[in-house]
Structure 1
């Protein structure tokens, strides 16, 4: 993807090679720390409602409605696995950086629970680390998976008084980077092999690539506003492209036989019934499969980096129950987590940014990539909130 932008355009809170607004870093640049940015999750039963209040802040949702979601967390003792995953990811990322001769510490901060982004940025600044390159634990383009992180970076810098002292850039969305996709590909291959060994014909097998549903209006605004990605915007297009890349690779390797069908489905809807969200729902789709002659289904958590609550509850619990009720043999494949290929890819993405590798020399698995170092004007608007100040991108 190529795009030009006037030299005079400035990107708030950015390092010099990104401040001009070019889609990709204009020159090599140094950073002195990595900022691992994530969603966060409760660490016990008493944390659950305060955490959900943070997640839904500004929407006026009463606690009794939050309890409808809280029982997912309470089922697991009030503890989300996402924090434990991020601790592990931070550790292996620092180790991989050192193994490649990159002496950068990794600070970790969350949007909705401790350790908060504010604490991570203040800690970095106190240690003299003021040029931060952020890695968000969300691979796709949408408000909640990209722009909201960028807004939080700007908010944190302003609220802490560190704007002008600390710079924060962000690596581009990595949905089609090889090491992110590889664990999904391996999982689908293993599931198909298991189904084949059990005697299922290709036409009796379905692969469902599942990701978090979002409001249709927000999905349509995902990605740059001057590009047409079709229904569902960049968010849906990116998932569709990655699913196709996985199945094409497996077909080329004869791991997926002709006749094996697949599609992208959605999960974890949380909006009011009157508000359109991306569909079809994964459980609804599973219920329809027997009538289509399907006897086995592989559910692939394509939109998720790790086994956090939406995977453990919505897929391992609800989707597997739906498959059992439908009389289907079902497998939920792994997320990338701390798969070595993914960790290596994150370091590769960091090096691409530091070295200002030209876009045409950044290998990706789909025609949509590589995604931008600097988010484009009007990217990933939230319909309800509009555009708020954000780092790592051009103003609308």
Structure 2
């Protein structure tokens, strides 16, 4: 059922798994950007707050196991491997093991932007080029960005409504609770958002997709509770020099505004993240939770999709649809999603362009 693919790679960001790995990891992440060690040391404290271990790798290993189990349950057992951009197991090493493929790649981010899609494709292209030069070429394909995948959106909605119910049940006077639902995603520079998605489609694919999901969640919450719930999207984890504009408002500033408006109960929906990795564990569960306590706000954070069975099943559906498409068969599930092979003007960066895998552009690596 997954022919022509011989394996599946879950491609993610990576993270340190011991205190001594933190600074080398951060240097790899910021290589070429001129970020001083003093700034990296500040970010390193986020990791040291959790013993120098990012939760992302363990969570992705659990997702790999869940995907492999779901594939096997569908009668199509296949090798599923984890690969990372910035920590072991590195993408180049994993692809070398899986060559010649064809390998189907699943990115952990559902959204379109340079940092959540094209940069990963560039790393795939770099690894594939090196393998070809070494005489071990590998054939690659990927699933499309899947923010509009029905199973993903349904799982997110269900988890948010569960958190809303918990927030109201825990309120001393549920009927009197002044409730706000705030969706949260990783901030990116506004210039990067303007370039997200195909330029021919107007860019801003990252913020548009997240705003659409935030609106959908607000509507679902309003129907579920019978309350007026306004769409609200805030951002976290911004970095870089302060003179560079990033997507706003920051979640801490948004909590200040909500408290000033008399809101006493906030549900945070981390819709930009598929697991509870560092940005969720530190920026939301630590910093935002501390700010909410200072403001007297009851804060409940919705779960990320993680290894939710509906989400995992949806990813397997998506992989099977991509395989059907590769065989020249109809794949209706792909019809409402962006192309799996990204066009030339998709998610461009201000950095010099590098050849990218899984693309329709000239000079790409197949």
Aligned to 1:171: 143
Give the gaps of 5 or more residues in structure 1: 1-27
Distance between the aligned counterparts of 1:202 and 1:93, measured in 2? 43
Mapped pair 1:338 → 2:307:
yes
The Cα shift of 1:87 comes to 1.1
Let me know the Cα RMSD of the aligned residues: 2.0
Give the gaps of 5 or more residues in structure 2: none
TM-score (ref. length: structure 1):
0.85
The CA deviation string for residues 5-56 of structure 1, in whole angstroms up to 9 with x for no partner, is: xxxxxxxxxxxxxxxxxxxxxxx96111111111000010100000001100
Distance between the aligned counterparts of 1:92 and 1:151, measured in 2? 27
Could you say what secondary structure the match of 2:305 adopts?
A: coil
Aligned to 2:354: 388
- 1:206-245 → structure 2 map (5 Å cutoff): 206-228=180-202, 233-245=204-216
Aligned to 1:296: 265
The Cα shift of 1:58 comes to 0.9
The CA deviation string for residues 335-389 of structure 1, in whole angstroms up to 9 with x for no partner, is: 0111111110110010111112657x2289xxxx412211122111112x14211
Could you say what secondary structure the match of 1:108 adopts?
A: strand
Which of 97, 119, 123 is the matching residue for 2:71? 97
Mapped pair 1:36 → 2:25:
no
TM-score (ref. length: structure 2):
0.92
Distance between the aligned counterparts of 1:243 and 1:176, measured in 2? 12
Which consecutive segments of 4 or more residues in structure 1 shift more than 6 A? none
Which of 247, 253, 257 is the matching residue for 1:278? 247
Contact 1:107 1:124 in 2 (8 A): no
Q: Across the two proteins, how many residue pairs are aligned to each other?
A: 355
Mapped pair 1:154 → 2:122:
no
Distance between the aligned counterparts of 1:144 and 1:163, measured in 2? 30
Which of 187, 204, 208 is the matching residue for 2:159? 187
Q: Flag the 1:164–1:394 CA change in 2: closer, same or farther, 3 A.
A: farther
Which of 232, 236, 249 is the matching residue for 1:267? 236
Aligned to 1:13: none
Aligned to 1:17: none
Distance between the aligned counterparts of 1:280 and 1:332, measured in 2? 18
The Cα shift of 1:107 comes to 1.9
Contact 2:219 2:229 in 1 (8 A): no
More helix by share: 2
